[in-house]
Amino acid sequence: MTTPPVLRIFALSFLLSGPFPGVILAAVPATTPAVFARDGIVASSHGLASEAGAQILRQGGNAVDAAVATGFALAVVLPSAGNIGGGGFMVVHQADGRDTVIDYRETAPAAASRGMYLGTGGKVLSGPDSSTVGWRAAGVPGTVAGLAFALEHYGSGKITWAQAIEPARRLAAEGFVVSGTTEHRLRRAAALLGQFEESKRIYLKGGSGWRAGETFRQPELAATLERLQRAGWREFYEGETARRIAAAMHREGGTITLADLKNYRIAERAPLRGAYRGYTVVTMPPPSSGGIALLQMLGMLEARDVGALRNDPAARAHLFAEVMTRAFRDRAEYLGDPAFVQVPVAQLLDPAYIRARMNSFSPNRATPSASVEPGLGRLPVSPPRESLQTTHFSVVDAAGGAVSNTYTLNGAFGCGATVPGTGILLNNEMDDFMSAPGVPNLFGLIQGESNAITPGKRPLSSMTPTLLLRSGKLFLVTGSPGGPTIINTVLQVVTNTIDLGMPPCAAVAAPRIHHQWMPDRLDYEPGALTPAALAQLRAEGHILAVSADSIGDSETIEVDPATGVRLGASDPRNGDSAAVAQTPVSH
C-alpha cells in the first residue's frame, strides 16, 4: 500500500500519440503537470514537504539543506512513511560533480538475535512480538543522524540545523489540513495503529479518525523537533528523546536500549556507478540491493533495442520480466550488509557475467522461476524481504547540486507504536532481515543467510535512490517507495526516459509491471498491458496478476541538457505528491 491506487481514467491522447500508440487502456494514472524552474525544485510525496524544501532553497540553501528540511517535514505530514523513527539512504550530487552516499539505515539492536522472531517449533511469530508489529520490530533509527550528517558535511553552510527543522516544527505545532489521501491512509492503518494507545490517540484521533479538511496538530512531535533544534541531533541519541525511547522499549518489551541509541552510526559510502547507453548511473550500493539489481537489469537490456519494442507491449513486458527475474534471483542469493557478509559486487556487475545471464533468454518462452539459478553458483547466503511504505524525494538546486533520498519506516506507519510524549512513530525495519531461512515474507520475498539477524547489522534493503548523468552533468534524479517494486520502478522510469524518450511526467506516470523472481508472477498495473498482450504473455508461460495497489511513487526531476531547465514530475499515483519550484516560472 504505497499509496491508495489513485488510478484515474486517462485521456488517451498522450498514450495514443505517445509511447504506446494503438494501445487501448482501461485505466492508467493520469499525469500531473510538470513543474518548471530555472533554479531549484523539490519533488516529494507531500506538497507541504516539497514547499518546506523550496523555502530553504529560497533562503539560499543548497539541495542538501532543502533535502533535510523536506525530510523533517515529511515526518510530520506523511506519518505513514516520512519519519524520524526510521532510516534511509541519501545520494548526494555536489554542484562540483562529486557524488556520495549517506547510509542512515537502521541497525539491529545489541539484544537482537537470529531466532528472535521464532516461536515454538521454529515457527515465525505473528502479532505483537513479531518482526512487523510492535516494539520488538524496530531497528535503531538512523534518520536524525543521517540528516544531521548531510547538513553538516554537504549543506551550504548558510542554513543552520534549527532553520532546516523549523518548517517541520511549525507544521507539527500549527497543524496541517488532512487531505483525502491522508484520511484514506490513516483509515487503512487503523487496525495496526489502534493496538497502541499513543498511536490511537494521535493518528486515529482517539478512535474517531481524522477526516479530510480537519487540521491535524502534533504538539508532542513539535516539542521533540524543538528539542532537536535547541540541543542538536545528538539529543535524539543521548538526551531526553533517547531516554523516552529507551524507557518505552523497556516497559513494552522492546529491544532498543540507551546504549544502542548512543552507538548508532551512519555510514558514508561510495555510490555504485554504471553506464547505460552513454548515461552514467549513480546509485545505491549495499546494504541496498537496489543499485546492483538496477545496474544488472540495465546491463541485460543494453544489448537489446528496447526502443524498438515501444509498440509491442507483450515483447517488452516479456523482456523486462525475464531481466527482473534474473536480477532478483541474484539479489536473493548474494546480498546483505557488506559489514557482515561478503557481497560479490564486482562479479555481479561484470559486463560479461551480466551478458551471460541472458544466454538462457528466449524471446517467446517465460523462464520458470524455479529453474533460474543464481549466476555465481551457491554461496552461503540469500535473499531479502520487505513490505509497504516508504517515501522518496528528489531535489535539484540552482547550482546543479542534487539529492536523491529514499527513507522509510518499512511498513505503513512502521511497527505501529509511538513513543509516548514524543510523537515518534517507530519503524518495523527488523522485518527486512530474514526471520527464518527460506521462509517467504508477507510479500513473498524469500530470505537467506546473508540477511540473517546479527546485532549492529543493517537489514537488506531495496531502496534505490538514483541519479543519471549525461556527459558528466546532472540529467535525472529519481527513486520510489514500494519494497521490491522500488527497483523495477526505477528501472522503468529510467528506460522510459532513455529508450522511449518520454518526458519526465510521462515516464513517471506510465503504467508499470513487476516481477521479483519469487513468487513466479508478473504483476501489472491496469493499463500496462492490452488484452492481446496479456494473451500472448500467458501463451508464453507467464503467470499474470493485475496489481491490487499501484506500483511505486516516483518523485523525479529531469534537467534538460539543452536549456538547463529543471522539470519536476511527481507521481500521479499519490494524491498528495507535488513538485515545488524554488522560483515558480510564470506561463
Nearer to ligand DON (CB atom), residue 29 or residue 483: 483
Length of the chain: 587
Angle at 70 between CA 66 and CA 72, to 5 degrees: 120
β-sheet with 279-283: strand ranges across: 35-37, 566-569, 556-559, 473-478, 466-470, 279-283, 272-276
How far is residue 518's CA from residue 521's CA, in Å, rounded to a whole number? 7
Kindly tell me which residue out of 45, 143, 224, 408 binds ligand DON, with binding defined by CB under 6 A. 408
Residues 116-135: x where in contact with ligand DON by CB under 6 A, - otherwise, as a string: --------------------
The one segment of 147-155, 173-181, 459-467, 529-537 that binds ligand DON by CB under 6 A: 459-467
Grid cell locating 251? 516497559
Nearer to ligand DON (CB atom), residue 155 or residue 290: 290
Grid cell locating 10? 486517462
Q: How far is the CB of 465 from ligand DON (least distance, A)?
A: 11
**Binding flag, residue 32, ligand DON (CB under 6 A):** no
Nearer to ligand DON (CB atom), residue 93 or residue 392: 392
* 239: exposed, middle or buried (Cβ count in 10 Å: 0-12, 13-18, 19+): middle
DSSP code per residue over 164-210? HHHHHHHHHHH-EEPPHHHHHHHHHTHHHHTTSHHHHHHHSGGGT--
**Binding flag, residue 481, ligand DON (CB under 6 A):** yes
Q: How far is the CB of 121 from ligand DON (least distance, A)?
A: 28
How far is residue 515's CA from residue 522's CA, in Å, rounded to a whole number? 5
**Binding flag, residue 389, ligand DON (CB under 6 A):** yes
* 11: exposed, middle or buried (Cβ count in 10 Å: 0-12, 13-18, 19+): exposed
Binding-residue total with ligand DON (CB under 6 A): 17
The one segment of 19-27, 42-50, 121-129, 481-489 that binds ligand DON by CB under 6 A: 481-489
Nearer to ligand DON (CB atom), residue 337 or residue 432: 432
**Binding flag, residue 490, ligand DON (CB under 6 A):** no
Nearer to ligand DON (CB atom), residue 204 or residue 463: 463
**Binding flag, residue 386, ligand DON (CB under 6 A):** yes
Residue 526 identity? P
**Binding flag, residue 462, ligand DON (CB under 6 A):** yes
**Binding flag, residue 332, ligand DON (CB under 6 A):** no
Percentages of the chain per state (helix, strand, coil), in multiples of 5? 35, 15, 45
Instruction: Name residues whose C-beta falls within 8 Å of residue 532's C-beta, 6 or more positions apart in sequence.
Output: 314
**Binding flag, residue 547, ligand DON (CB under 6 A):** no
Kindly tell me which residue out of 291, 313, 383, 483 binds ligand DON, with binding defined by CB under 6 A. 483
**Binding flag, residue 2, ligand DON (CB under 6 A):** yes
How far is residue 156's CA from residue 65's CA, in Å, rounded to a whole number? 7
Kindly tell me which residue out of 45, 50, 224, 461 binds ligand DON, with binding defined by CB under 6 A. 461
Kindly tell me which residue out of 32, 367, 410, 496 binds ligand DON, with binding defined by CB under 6 A. 410
**Binding flag, residue 435, ligand DON (CB under 6 A):** no
Q: How far is the CB of 102 from ligand DON (least distance, A)?
A: 15
Q: How far is the CB of 24 from ligand DON (least distance, A)?
A: 30
Q: Which of 135, 128, 137, 124 is nearest to 447 (CA)?
A: 124
**Binding flag, residue 44, ligand DON (CB under 6 A):** no
Given phi > 0 = left and psi -120 to 50 = alpha, else beta, which region is 484?
A: alpha
Kindly tell me which residue out of 37, 309, 388, 581 binds ligand DON, with binding defined by CB under 6 A. 388
Q: How far is the CB of 85 from ligand DON (least distance, A)?
A: 13
Catalytically active residues are 390
Nearer to ligand DON (CB atom), residue 25 or residue 463: 463
β-sheet with 544-546: strand ranges across: 513-514, 522-524, 544-546
SS3 state of residue 215:
strand
The one segment of 146-154, 169-177, 252-260, 385-393 that binds ligand DON by CB under 6 A: 385-393
The one segment of 46-54, 123-131, 478-486, 555-563 that binds ligand DON by CB under 6 A: 478-486
Nearer to ligand DON (CB atom), residue 36 or residue 413: 413
Instruction: Name residues whose C-beta falls within 8 Å of residue 203's C-beta, 6 or more positions apart in sequence.
Output: 79, 186, 189, 193, 210, 413, 418, 425
Q: Do residues 338 and 272 make contact, with C-beta atoms less than 8 angstroms apart? A: no
Angle at 457 between CA 270 and CA 441, to 5 degrees: 105
Kindly tell me which residue out of 390, 450, 488, 554 binds ligand DON, with binding defined by CB under 6 A. 390
Instruction: List contacts with ligand DON (CB under 6 A).
Output: 2, 386-390, 408, 410, 429, 432, 461-463, 481-483, 486
